[in-house]
Amino acid sequence: MAADIWLTPFLGVDAEYRFTLLNTLNDSAVNNNTISTSQSWIDLGFKFRRFFGMALSSTSMAVGLKYINYNLSVPASASTRAKEQVQGPQLSLDLSVSFFTKLLLEFWFGFRTLLQSLRNINPGVQSGASNQSMGLGANVGGEYRLSRQTRAFFKFSALAYRSQFSGVASGTDPITGVIPSGVTVTNAFYMFDLGLRFGH
């Protein structure tokens, strides 16, 4: 679910919420044990837009500043799978290029830095003392104008987070049996969106 509310043609509020249904993950490094989990993504911020022309389908560019929050929840019965939360600011660039009369091609790139990553395993096992985290995202898609108020769109997206933890973890590695240090965690997501947009 997403909403772009343009207060003026050049300034808007941008909000997006995603969540998973019937999501399962492996909870063992050596066995095929799965657990039910839930994941959610929340983005909220502002967009500043500039048009290159006066036509309805003119090319435009938007710069965005958002607060982002990713959350992975796991049940209390999880033995190795960690709860995770990544939050912080995102700076993005969004380019819409006119292609024929009713078709716009859309390109987006987002850079997420100064992120705070929280990661722990029940009961209270942590990956390290502190961390440095960043994220990168990109998508490409298109928008077809059915009418002035209704548009169909599609979008392919990729998003990755990387966290480098300092210090020593408070639990043992299930494969090696030793306590790791300098733990690195990378999460990657690939998404496809298809839907309708309504509004003036």
Give a three-class secondary structure readout of 139-175: EEEEEEECCCCEEEEEEEEEEEEEEEEECECCCCCCC
Between the alpha carbon of residue 179 and those of residues 30, 37, 103, 168, the distances in Å are 17, 26, 55, 7
Return the pLDDT at 11.
94
Query: What string of DSSP letters covers 5-69?
Result: EEEETTEEEEEEEEE-SSEEEE--SSS--EEEEEEEEEEEEEEEEEEESSSTT-EEEEEEEEEEE
Looking at every residue in the chain, the average pLDDT score rounds to: 85
Contact 48, 63 (CB under 8 A): yes
Kindly report the pTM of this predicted structure.
0.82
Domain with 174 in it: what CATH number? 2.40.128.100
**Mean pLDDT over residues 106-127, rounded?**
75
pLDDT number for residue 77: 75
Give me the phi and psi of 32, to 5 degrees please.
Answer: -95, 65
Most confident of 44-53, 110-119, 142-151: 44-53
Q: In the structure encoding, which two tokens stand for residue 183, read together?
A: 């733990």
Residue pLDDT, tens place only, 104-113: 899 999 998 8
What token pair was written down for 171?
């639990």
Instruction: Give every CB contact of residue 46 below 8 A, 6+ residues apart in sequence.
Output: 11, 12, 13, 14, 64, 65, 66
Q: How many domains does the chain have?
A: 1
Range of the domain at 169: 2-198
Q: With 80 as the cut, is the pLDDT of residue 172 above it?
A: no
**What value does the mean pLDDT take over residues 176-185?**
79
